[in-house]
Amino acid sequence: MPTVLPFSIHVPEADLADLRERLVRFRPLPDSPRRPTSGMSAQYLGELVETWRAWDWRAREEWLNTHPQFLADIGDTTVHFAHLRSARADAPALLVMHGWPHTFALQLDFADLLPDFHVVVPSFPGFGYSTPYADGPMTETRLAATMHALMTEILGYTAYLTYGEDVSANVNDLIAGSHPEAVAGVVVTHSHFPSIAERPGLTAPDEVAFFARLDRWGGANGAYGHVQATRPDTLAAALNDSPAGLLAWLAEKLVEWSDTPEGDPEAVERRISRDRILTEAMIYWTTQSIGTSFRPYYEGADQPGEMPQVEVPASVHIQRHEGDYPESLARRFYLDLRVFERLDEGGHFAIAEVPAVMAERVRAFAREIDLL
């Protein structure tokens, strides 16, 4: 049997002292003249840094460790995961995956609301407490195989539900499409995109308009991805050396991609609290994993390729940043589409932003397919 080792988070006191010293030496910059609208401002970053400097990490660490965590070797990576077992032995299993720039920690509030499920929340290889793949690229197919092995070979589940967002959205679809014998259903907030090669063949006006709109958005907002895909190590060297820089880089995306008013950085805390934002930064900082978290960008794991259609039951909930996503695309890809809706609230990080809403959606779907 594969070895599964218990794991708990403990940051050495020397590391905390070093972090505080760096934060004390923070050199703030004023906003640039005519600064473009973005999810970060000098004022908000200053507030975050000041809070981080005085923040009680030990209390947060203790909260994280109330969630049972483990390590397991899968191929050439050691995967870290939280495993929240239900009191019901026959409860359905649910795999919950994160993307970038978040970590497993941002998914825990959602997992806590599902005591009637066995919930597994892994860290992707190279993120936080999971080691990067030792050899070869980090592809969607490889990630799907690793996550499926975690659920079946390591944890022994013969059937499970799966959920993913951001980088893990395609992994979610791949797991469901490639392992219909083991996947009981797929929950989706980032619905399937046709591959780059397939998109020129789209003719429906709403489908063409959707991807044209995304292309326009990416031209104005996609610099982060281009840098992470082309100069990952240079950027990582700077972020790994400056906690304030790391915090600015991460928090900007949490702001911009959440369901918050444009140009209002502090509004993000109505969806994702300051404690949760700082937890994300702390995990990246103390594990020094920001560089390896860029691997999906420079190795192409964030680019949708052709993949098998999903035949298992699907429950699709369109998050607000993709509110104009055409239903026709979902119906062509998810062949047993049980639910298609557009969320009234919740953006890119849907289960973190509206955990109660999404927990009830998962529970309703499980009842629909006779798992509860």
Chunked into runs of 10 residues, the chain (372 residues) has average pLDDT values of 92 98 96 86 96 98 98 98 97 98 98 98 98 94 96 98 96 97 98 91 96 88 91 97 98 94 82 97 98 91 77 98 97 98 97 98 98 96
- CB count within 10 Å of CB 188 equals 28
**How far lies 266's CA from each of 40, 49, 80, 252, 350, in Å?**
9, 14, 31, 10, 18
Euclidean distance between the first and the last CA atom of the chain, given in angstroms as a whole number: 29
Q: Is the overall model pTM greater than 0.85, yes or no?
A: yes
Burial letters for 218-237: b for 16+ Cβ neighbours within 10 Å, e otherwise? Answer: eeebeebbebbbeebeebbe
Look at residue 217 in the predicted model and tell me its pLDDT: 86
Report the side by side order of strands in the sheet with 310-318: 4-7, 69-74, 77-84, 118-122, 93-96, 160-164, 183-188, 310-318, 334-342
Cα separation, 352 vs 345, whole angstroms = 12
**If phi over 0 gives left and psi between -120 and 50 gives alpha, with beta otherwise, what is residue 85?**
beta
Cα separation, 298 vs 300, whole angstroms = 6
203 three-state secondary structure: coil
Instruction: Report the DSSP beta bridge partners of residue 290.
Output: none
Alpha-helix residue ranges (DSSP H) falling in 154-273: 167-178, 205-221, 223-230, 232-241, 243-257
Question: Tell me, what DSSP letter sits at residue 119?
Answer: E
Look at residue 265 in the predicted model and tell me its pLDDT: 82
Look at residue 304 in the predicted model and tell me its pLDDT: 62
The two structure tokens encoding residue 298: 């420079």
- The answer to whether the CB of 68 falls within 8 A of the CB of 84 is yes
- The answer to whether the CB of 176 falls within 8 A of the CB of 147 is no
For the chain, domains (ranges, CATH) are 4-368 (3.40.50.1820)
